[in-house]
Amino acid sequence: MQIAALRASAPPSMTVPLSSLPPGAPGADVAQPPTRHTISVLQLHQIVQGARRLGCDIDALLRRAAISPALLQSPNARVSEDQFAALMRSMRRVTRDEFWGLLSRPVAPGVFAQACHALIHCATLEDAMRAGLNLYRLHLVDFVPRLQQRDGRATLLLLPRAPATACRQYAQSTFAFQAYGVANWLVAQRIPLAGVDLAARAPEPARGPARLTDTERVFNTQVRYGQPHTALHFDASWLRLPVVQDASSLQAFLNDTPRNLLTRYRDDSCLAERIRRHLRCHLDDELPSLEQMAGALRLTPQTLRRRLRDEGRGYQSIKDSLRRDAAIALLEHTDLALQQVALRVGFSEPSTFHRAFKKWTGVAPGEYRQRQMMESAA
């Protein structure tokens, strides 16, 4: 059931805009909630595979990142990008491996920083990518990363050296994601991808507002799963761009890694992200209809639907995912009562918000907050 259906019988006056709350009313003086994207708990299941194989205490690792282990039992649960980045750092320390036990031989902490130090002295992106891949070939035994060019297209190709396992396939996806993030940082702009091939199987379709997987949203291009090789494809002309980073910018980059790999140079130009930014301003009010949004963007409703369909999104799913992410942020970072959280994300009735949130994440909002508070205090 979509939010539109949940609210179909409610008259417009039932939604109370935050701006209409009198001064001093609960929630009136709270800033607009942060609406960063969240990450599916399915990613947690994959990223802890290696640590679990090594016998690490997964619950303890999750708690260090302020993530409730109970969320692993809720297939639709979400965590913040900061929590996911904290989990990556925690697992790196515990496993003493930059790939968290996913590969047959660990990659010692410091290799990523060593590679970045070498790359900033290269003249072009192509020089940097080849230098970085050469370095990593000294540390990787499960797959071989190569840069290929053909007919104007460049491909970062990962050739497996060992039998495919879920751990190795996730490690390859991780390597491709990190290499792409570093490449974007080196040239200080997002490199548009022509396609992504992943050896990993396609994730199980999850219930909830978002149709795109987290992987598809990060790469912002078609992702083909179950392929013989993991590969990123892009126009070879990007390889000629100069490296613009230096020692001073490198330290700030390393200090904020891996979080900046999740958020930096995100594609905010796509139509879905433009709509999401516009909707943030109306989050506590009745969100615009598709026809109203089309008018604001100077598009016909038919064109808006078609362009969103081309991006793999739907207008209702954008609205629902924004409300979900904003609600999660408010539950984690404020002490607003649940009724006020509901108002802040556009629900006049707490019961309707309760049903919608449980549909989005698999747990009720009060239970979600309680779990997070317990982990933060642990």
* SS3 (DSSP) at 194: strand
Domains and CATH numbers, the chain: 105-263 (no CATH), 269-377 (1.10.10.60)
Sign of CA dihedral 198, 199, 205, 206: negative
For residues 321, 326, 328, 331, the Cα torsion angle rounded to the nearest 10 degrees is -160
Phi-psi group of 24: left, alpha or beta (phi > 0 → left; psi -120 to 50 → alpha; rest → beta): left
Q: Please say if the pLDDT value at position 71 is more than 70.
A: yes
Beta bridge partners of 78: 40
3-class DSSP state of 261: helix
> Which run of H or of E encompasses 101?
none
pTM for the model:
0.73
The distance from CA 133 to its chain's CA centroid, rounded to whole angstroms, is 25
User: Among 7-16, 29-38, 102-111, 368-377, which is the least confidently predicted range?
Assistant: 7-16
Residue 112 has pLDDT above 90, yes or no: yes
Instruction: Assign 3-state DSSP to the chain and report helix, strand, coil percentages, each to 5.
Output: 50, 10, 40
Q: What is the pLDDT of residues 239-277, one digit of tens each?
A: 999 999 999 999 999 998 888 887 666 655 678 888 988
Q: What is the pLDDT of residue 10?
A: 31
Q: Quick: pLDDT tens for 38-62.
A: 888 889 999 999 999 999 999 999 9
Buried b (16+ CB within 10 A) or exposed e, 303-335: ebeeebeebbbbbbbbbbbbbbbbbbbbbbebe
Residues with Cβ within 8 Å of residue 63, at least 6 apart in sequence? 69, 375, 378
